[in-house]
Amino acid sequence: MSVPTSNRRTQALSLLERLEPSAPERVAQNLDEFHDDATEILLGFAFTDVVAREGISLHTREMLTIAMLAAMGTAPGQLEFHMRAALNTGVTREEIVEIVLQVAVYAGIPASMNAITAAKSAFTSV
């Protein structure tokens, strides 16, 4: 199931590229400046070990990710990134609207309002 060490970083950045073509260079540089192991540990877990798995489509995984990030409300920059990533992986604007309304049910109106801000920004930029 898992991936030989030497490929974990490469595969993680490859998955990240599907989320946003310009992201791998920017994100890897940011993490490499912090510590040599950060990209492999953090993105290797996130993308190589988990998000790249079969069983749910990447399209559905991005729907889940924006729902979770919006409900938690503690990572607004990453919520906006994943709003763009959702659009890039084929989630429609209508689906994002529905997710954002559903966030209001489970996490409250302010969480939903913050997600609307992130979604509108992504709608403009993608």
Q: Which residues bind a copy of itself (CB under 8 A)?
A: 1-5, 8, 30-31, 33-38, 40-42, 44-46, 49-51, 53, 55-56, 60-61, 63-65, 67-69, 71-75, 77-78, 94-95, 97-114, 116, 119-120
User: Nearest approach, Cβ of 69 to a copy of itself (angstroms)?
Assistant: 6
Instruction: Give the HSE-up count for residue 52: Cα atoms under 13 Å, Cβ half-sphere.
Output: 21
Instruction: Choose between 17 and 38: whose C-beta lies nearer to a copy of itself.
Output: 38
User: Nearest approach, Cβ of 122 to a copy of itself (angstroms)?
Assistant: 12
Instruction: Choose between 88 and 111: whose C-beta lies nearer to a copy of itself.
Output: 111
- Residues with Cβ within 8 Å of 39's Cβ and at least 6 positions away in sequence, in order, are 9, 12, 13, 27, 28, 31, 32
